[in-house]
Amino acid sequence: MESVGLYIYCFAFSVIWLIYQDITQKKLKGVYFLVTLLLSIVFALLFPLNPFLPLFLAFFSLSLLVNFTKTLCRHFFYSAFPVIFVDLFVRTVTFFIYPKLFQYDIVQKPFSAWEIVFALLLVLPTNRVLKRLFRIDYPAILQMPDKLIQSYIYSMNGFFILYYLVYYGIFFNVKSSVANYHQLTLLAFIMLLIYMLTLLNRQAQLSYQLEVEKEQSQYLENLEHYSQHLEAIYENIRAFKHDYDNILISLKDCMSNGNLGDIKTVYEDVLKKSRDNMEHDDYLLYQLIPLKDNNLKMMLIRDLLDIKNQGIHVSASICEITAHSLNLQKDFVLVIHLLLGLASKLTKASPKPWLKLRITQNESSFEVSVSYATSMERLETSCLCFASQTLNDALDVKEMQTLQAIFQAHPHCQLLFESGSYKAKETLIIEKVREEVV
């Protein structure tokens, strides 16, 4: 590479780097920038056909490194899109704007270095304008499940391949072809890229809206159960107050008559019964008060009460919760929900079914453990695996795929398992992470 050409190449790489970080929503460390730049230069020396291919290969390698859980289809999209976007924009400026401003023939006059640099300077502002104009939501696209986005990503990748074949193949190596067809094909590619990107974005926003509506519906359903439980507590308190008033009257009469037998009867028939009515469901709710995450709290109340209504003895212990408790993502709440459901199915088969929930939090992690009785002396694997292999009504294929996707997407989350003496314990450990900088 010539020195001027190398400078322009590095500058173009920097612009593509910023676009890549924008679409992947990742803040990458400087060492990744240097390594990827050097790798692209190596690819440029190995494949000196055009600057497009080395840049794509370098960013494809970077995507594999920092997003190893994604599919190859998505890696291709994240790698090709920023390169295509920058290349297409520079071509648009140099073939549409410059000839009108400077009155020259694009076939006869090669582009100078400053013209290319000036076009590159306009890429980032244009990217921001287009995002606002067409309301492109990259985070929503990133969060879309593969099954919903795969066909759109395949179409975009096909567009990228077609673009490369047209502009870096044999066709536009002929100057007459450039003069006759370049502006037409350029307009076609611009319109096609905007259309496909907005179509992908619309699907992502629709998927996001459906997910929000589903979460709101689940939240309202949990809130309804929570309200019903509070109403039941109020009824218990009112009944206890009524019994307490009767107790005072009865005890007063008994003490006036000096009848110890009647005092004993009042205690066994009224006072002890009122205490028993207050100590189970109400105490379970009291144990969950330290939780600051309302979504998690309402889900736990609903699940634990459902488990208790199945005849399973349920207890809960919440300890070491800080004032600013961690708000769990919906993925982790779903894992806890499935874990409780599967544990209840396994313990229900034991002679004396019981289940205990324990939640702890420290500076570095949030732990949820579920202990339960089992019908077997020892289980070999976690209930998330054991149940799916032995119970017909346990996890279905969709739930198993969802769990696998959650644990792949959150490497800071792990599930520990231990079993013996006709009991088992599942511990979900969620390590706290700062803003993602890789």
Q: Which segments of 169-293 does DSSP mark as H helices, in order? A: 175-257, 260-266, 272-278, 281-287
From residue 118, how far is each of 6, 12, 67, 90, 127 by CA, in Å?
16, 11, 32, 9, 15
From residue 308, how far is each of 300, 311, 401 by CA, in Å?
12, 5, 29
pLDDT per position as a tens digit, 144-161: 777 777 788 888 899 999
pLDDT of residue 380: 75
pLDDT of residue 263: 66
pLDDT of residue 20: 94
From residue 312, how far is each of 36, 143, 356, 372, 382 by CA, in Å?
57, 38, 10, 10, 20
pLDDT of residue 31: 92
> SS3 helix, strand, coil % of the chain, rounded to 5?
70, 10, 20
Domain ranges of the chain: 3-215, 289-438
372: left (phi > 0), else alpha (psi -120 to 50), else beta?
A: beta
- DSSP assignment of 213-240, as one string? HHHHHHHHHHHHHHHHHHHHHHHHHHHH
pLDDT per position as a tens digit, 256-268: 766 667 666 766 6
Which helix or strand (DSSP H or E) is residue 61 part of? Answer: helix 52-66
Dihedral over Cα of 242, 245, 250, 251: its sign:
positive
| Among the listed residues 40, 65, 62, 64, the one whose alpha carbon sits nearest the alpha carbon of residue 53 | 40
Strand 413-420 relative to strand 423-431: parallel, antiparallel, unpaired?
antiparallel
CATH class of the structural domain 289-438: alpha beta
* Distance (Å, whole) CA 253 – CA 272: 19
* Distance (Å, whole) CA 63 – CA 69: 10
Extract the residue ranges of the chain whose pLDDT is less than 70: 1-4, 103-111, 170-181, 222, 225-226, 228-237, 239-240, 242-244, 246, 257-260, 262-264, 266-286, 320-328, 382-399, 401, 433-438
